[in-house]
Chains A and B, each alone.
Chain A
Amino acid sequence: MQFFNEFTQTIINGVAIGCIYGMVALGFVLIYKSTEVINFAQGELLMLGAFIAYSLITMLHFPYWLALITTILAMGIVGALLERVVLRPLVGEPAYAIVIVTIGISYFIKSVVSMIPGWGTDTYGFKTPFTDKYVRSGELVVSWEYISIIAIALLLIAAVFLFFRYSRMGTAMRATSQNQLAAVYMGISVTRVFSLTWTIAAALGGIGGILLAPITFVHMNMGFIGLKAVPAAVLGGFTSPPGAIVGGLIIGITESLAGVYLPDGWKDIAAWIILIGVLIIRPQGLFGIQEKKKV
């Protein structure tokens, strides 16, 4: 029984972390699919989101939900600005150049955060309505914190998927990622699609930050979690949004299990071992498809 409870808790923690990895990975995948660039600043966007939420909640005393929504909007604006100011002038340049620019963006965000008074390089945290609340059923104790992360993440991920599946703009964004030239012939403005892609990806990163902060901390270096989202995205096939979520969950759960049942140190390499294992068997990733084009 003891084992069962511990195991269930570990899995729930893993799913919660996995949802966050999945969201960050989804940001990677969306940007990669539409612009063929890997955005290495995705982790820093998460960090920035956490700092904004921290300021709103502890300094401006926003209620949690309002802070959540405000952070999502603020991060969306950050994404759109980044696209407009930094990336749009680079359209047409080789992909590696743009990738390096995203690394530059990540350092830039870090430095800016470290310079802002009240943010800096210290470690912070904030409380949510779910902090220190637990559900008990018999011996099993589960923190509301983790349940809320899973619920909020799944809700927002579902919203993103519905947007892409059913809305006109969402369909246009998928169309653009499949065939940019044909999209232009349809009158779809590719610049608008790119701008919206960055908006959504940055908002996803920001949400990841708000959700991650209560169970870890708010710190300038929390963007390193972005490095865990890369194997999640690769695992899913890098071009598949559902794959990113599944990849995130697999990495999250494995890590959580490795942290509890394996010796120290395994936790951090578990993700990479799984990644290498899957790629040996299925080089295109779990949900990846070989590009097909009929002639």
Chain B
Amino acid sequence: MSVMLKVRNIETYYGPIMAIKGVSFDIEEGAVVTILGANGAGKTTILKTLSAIMDPQKGTIEFMGKRIDSLPPEKIVAMGVSQVPEGREVFHDLTVKENLLMGAYLRNDRAGIKRDMDMVYDYFPILKDRIAQLAGDMSGGQQQMVVIGRALMARPKLLMLDEPSLGLSPLLVKEIYGIIERINKEHKTTILLVEQNAPMALSIASHGFVLELGRIVMDDTCQALMANEDVQEFYLGIKEDSVRGTKRWKRKKKWR
């Protein structure tokens, strides 16, 4: 497998505040990769930087061998990098169908768009029944399906998902994750998943990064991450009893 995305030493600021403090990582083609981290760790900022919604002040981003860190967002989408942003950002006054068509805004192959539309309806049959409904009138879970479907309509090579499980019922989270796995398997789409729901993310990803306060502190296979004591305690919520049989509250993370 070859490296699809190469991020080197990016630093991104919110005004004077440095949110990403020199992050580097590689993503291999066809992989499912996850970034774990607490609130404010900088996960969303990394995705925004990759989509050029925010500009890094330092560092380079290479996608399929080309520098993309100074391109405008629409060029990046055209190259095959799509993002499902956090918080179900649908076009609330457009119908489901119009929402999906907006995903294909940069494409001109009518037949291909039609085919991908059917593909999205195959992944999310419920959307087919709601073609003419305004996206703003749908439930949270259905809106999440609309935004994932919409991102697929761009036929991305790299699909980035920002907290797709946020605010959804456990059953729905399972369904959405099943579909993310299918997208990866059936279309060889590389997936970068940002999550707070670590157990879910680690269950489908092959590789993971742990982000803390704007730095990557762990970079390993998901198996290794799941076996790691710190990840277990701080991200998977598995508690370890100490010798005295009580929880040790002041544990130090080893990476600090």
Contacts and interface: CB of A to CB of B under 8 A. Distances in A.
Contact of B136 (A184, A189, A292): A292
A179 B147 CA distance: 13
A131 interface: no
Contacts of B82: 185
Interface string A161-186: 00000001001101100110111111
A231 to B, nearest CB: 25
B77 interface: yes
A295 interface: yes
Contact of B143 (A171, A178, A189, A294): A294
Interface stretch (B25-33, B97-105, B170-178, B201-209): B97-105
Contact of B77 (A168, A171, A174, A185): A185
Instruction: Give the contact-size bracket for chain B.
Output: 20 to 34
B106 interface: yes
B118 interface: no
B94 A188 contact: no
A184 B93 CA distance: 17
B140 A182 contact: no
Interface stretch (B83-91, B120-128, B217-225): B83-91
A179 B105 CA distance: 15
Contacts of A61: none
Contacts of B138: 294
B74 interface: yes
B193 interface: no
A35 B73 CA distance: 19
Given A172-B102, A175-B102, A187 B94 contact: no
A293 interface: yes
A181 B140 contact: no
Given A168-B105, A171-B98, A294-B143, A187 B93 contact: no
Interface residues of A, number: 20
B68 interface: no
Interface string B140-184: 100100010011001000000000000100000000000000000
A187 B77 contact: yes
A194 to B, nearest CB: 14
A171 B101 contact: yes
Nearest to B72: A189
B92 A292 contact: yes
Contacts of B3: none
B105 to A, nearest CB: 5
Contact of A186 (B92, B93, B105, B136): B105
Nearest to B107: A187
A29 to B, nearest CB: 14
Contact of A179 (B76, B83, B89, B98): B89
Given A184-B53, A185-B51, A168 B91 contact: no
A182 B91 contact: yes
Nearest to A289: B93
Interface in A170-226: 171-172, 174-175, 178-179, 181-189
A228 to B, nearest CB: 28
B78 interface: yes
Given A172-B105, A179-B92, A187-B105, A293 B74 contact: no
A294 B72 contact: no
B105 A185 contact: no
A172 B76 CA distance: 18
Contacts of A294: 92, 136, 138, 140, 143
Given A171-B98, A293-B136, A186 B89 contact: no
A185 to B, nearest CB: 5
B91 A189 contact: no
A186 B77 contact: yes
Contacts of A175: 91, 94, 98, 102
Nearest to A294: B136
Given A186-B77, A186-B102, A294-B138, 12 more contacts: A172-B102, A175-B91, A178-B93, A178-B94, A182-B85, A183-B91, A184-B74, A185-B83, A186-B154, A188-B74, A189-B74, A293-B136
12 contacts: A168-B105, A171-B101, A182-B90, A183-B102, A184-B53, A186-B102, A186-B105, A187-B73, A187-B74, A187-B154, A188-B105, A295-B140
Interface of B: 51, 53, 72-74, 76-78, 82-83, 85, 87, 89-94, 98, 101-103, 105-106, 136, 138, 140, 143, 147, 150-151, 154, 167
Give 4 closest A-B pairs by Cβ, nearest first.
Answer: A187-B77, A182-B89, A187-B74, A187-B106
Interface of A: 168, 171-172, 174-175, 178-179, 181-189, 292-295
